[in-house]
Structures are given as structure tokens and as C-alpha cells.
């Protein structure tokens, strides 16, 4: 049984469909109510991950229907790429709430179910921006750096109960979020990577499968960056 946030589009949808293909039951969370994935083992719940009451309600429903939770992948995030001098406060707040507070709330609710079963795998999706710190992405990069720190501390809190918490550092992958960025800026960032290309579906899912694997019980508090990005 898996929960994937941001499952309506982009990487979250890719992950949800991948887990469904592997035989998992999947609950996808996003703000919009209409499910775009049609699969008998898929349920879509409308929840803003930064809304404490909505997240609690979603996980109450998950507990009621499934009684357990094995995997949580936090892929929901928003990005406004803008120099700090020009960044509206509301956009900064939206990134902090969605990209950091959101995973805090979903991890907390997931951990309640996982600790009960003494098993769980949590993967928080981060970005190369946390390490590369590109101008224009100060707040986004800060939320992703904080997300890894949050995951590392949570990993310590859950290390004795069979629950791992890791961070997956994604490079460029074609989604709505990437399409909203200037193409020349994206191309320059990709060209400067140690492996100078965008991530493929296989690149993402291979790394994710490793972190979500039952065999990865001794791997926690790690950030796995794609493309050769390193801190």
C-alpha cells in the first residue's frame, strides 16, 4: 500500500503508475479532485498537503480503507523561479508551505501507520537546486535543502522501528514544472551536470525502487542525487 503526493501530474503521476504496475495499491494526493489515473487499485484524494486538517482527514481515510501503509513518496511541490528582490511574499510562502510543511505533515501521518506495523519506506523528492543553488531559486532551493535535513532527523526518530526516510535529488525531467522555466536556463544547467543530460523515466524509477525496496532497510537518512550532482 503506497501513498504518492502530487500524483495527478509529472513525477508523482509517473511514480504512482509505476507502483500500480508493480501490483501496489496506491492512494494519490493532490489539490484537484479529479483522478487522472484510471486503475482499479488507485484512489485519488483531494488534499492540499500544506493543510493540516486535510492531510489528517486523508490519512484517516487511508487508515480506514487499508489499515496499513508501506510506502510514502512525497512528490508534490511548487516552484516560482524569480530573483528574491522580485519574489512576491505569497509565492515564497506557497513554496515553503507546499515543499516543506507538506512533507512534514504527510510524513507525520504516514509514520503513525508505519510505526504501528514496524515497517515503512519514505522518499521525499528533492532537487538538484538544493545543491546547485541557482540564482532565481533561492526559496525553492532552501525548501529542498530543508526537506533533506527534515528527512535526516526523522530517519533518526524512526530508525529503531523499521521505517527508513531518504531523499531523492532529481535533475531535469520533462513535466509542467520544468516547462514553466526558461528553456535556455534549463539547458545551461543540464550542460553543466557531470552527466550532461536530463533524467529519464528509467533513471528516476531505478533510484526510487532502490530506496523503496524492502532490501534497503539499512539505508536511511541519505540523499541520492541523480546525474552526478553532489553536495
- Residues near ligand NAP (CB under 6 A) are 5-6, 8-12, 29-32, 48-50, 75-78, 98, 102, 125, 127, 170, 172-173, 175-178
When the beta carbons of 134 and 162 are compared against ligand NAP, the nearer one is 134
- The reply to whether 140 belongs to the active site is yes
Residue placing its CB nearer to ligand NAP in the complex, 29 or 212: 29
To ligand NAP, the closest distance from the beta carbon of 106 in angstroms equals 9
48 vs 70, which CB is nearer to ligand NAP? 48
Half-sphere exposure of 49 (CA within 13 A, CB side): 31
Q: Residues 16-51, buried b or exposed e (16+ Cβ, 10 A)? A: bbbbbeeebbbbbbbeeeebebeeeebbbbebbbbb
Q: Which residue has the cell 533513471?
A: 203
Nearer to ligand NAP, 29 or 165 (CB): 29
The single residue of 42, 140, 173, 218 carrying the catalytic annotation is: 140
Instruction: Quote the least distance from Cβ 118 to ligand NAP, whole Å.
Output: 28
> Minimal CB distance to ligand NAP: which residue?
10
CB of 3 to ligand NAP, least distance (A): 12
How far is the first Cα of the chain from the last one, in angstroms, to the nearest whole number?
33
Q: How far is CA 159 from CA 51, 117, 150, in A?
A: 27, 14, 14
C-alpha cell at 170: 532529481
Alpha-carbon distance of 231 to 225, in angstroms, equals 9
> Can you read off the three cell numbers belonging to residue 204?
528516476
* Smallest separation (angstroms) from ligand NAP to the CB of 213: 20
Catalytic residues: 140
Amino acid at each position: 500500500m503506497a501513498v504518492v503526493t502530487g500524483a495527478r501530474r509529472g513525477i508523482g503521476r509517473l511514480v504512482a503508475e509505476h507502483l500500480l504496475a508493480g501490483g501496489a495499491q496506491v492512494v494519490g494526493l493532490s489539490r484537484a479532485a479529479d483522478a487522472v489515473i484510471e486503475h482499479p487499485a488507485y484512489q485519488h484524494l483531494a488534499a492540499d498537503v500544506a493543510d493540516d486538517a486535510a492531510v489528517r482527514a486523508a490519512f484517516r481515510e487511508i487508515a480506514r480503507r487499508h489499515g496499513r501503509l508501506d510506502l510514502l513518496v512525497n512528490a508534490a511541490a511548487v516552484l516560482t523561479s524569480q530573483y528574491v528582490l522580485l519574489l512576491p511574499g505569497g509565492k515564497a510562502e506557497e513554496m515553503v508551505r507546499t515543499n516543506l510543511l507538506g512533507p512534514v505533515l504527510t510524513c507525520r501521518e504516514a509514520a503513525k501507520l508505519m510505526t504501528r506495523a514496524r515497517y515503512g519506506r519514505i522518499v521525499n523528492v528533492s532537487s538538484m537546486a538544493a545543491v546547485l543553488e541557482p540564482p532565481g531559486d533561492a526559496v525553492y532551493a532552501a525548501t529542498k535543502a530543508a526537506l533533506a535535513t527534515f528527512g535526516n532527523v526523522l530517519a533518526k526518530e524512526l530508525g529503531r522501528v523499521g521505517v527508513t526516510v531518504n531523499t531523492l535529488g532529481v535533475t531535469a525531467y520533462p513535466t509542467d514544472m520544468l516547462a514553466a522555466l526558461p528553456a535556455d536556463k534549463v539547458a545551461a544547467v543540464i550542460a553543466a551536470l557531470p552527466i550532461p543530460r536530463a533524467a529519464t523515466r528509467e533513471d528516476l524509477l531505478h533510484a526510487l525502487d532502490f530506496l523503496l525496496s524492502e532490501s534497503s532497510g539499512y539505508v536511511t537518512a541519505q540523499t541520492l542525487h541523480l546525474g552526478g550532482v553532489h553536495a
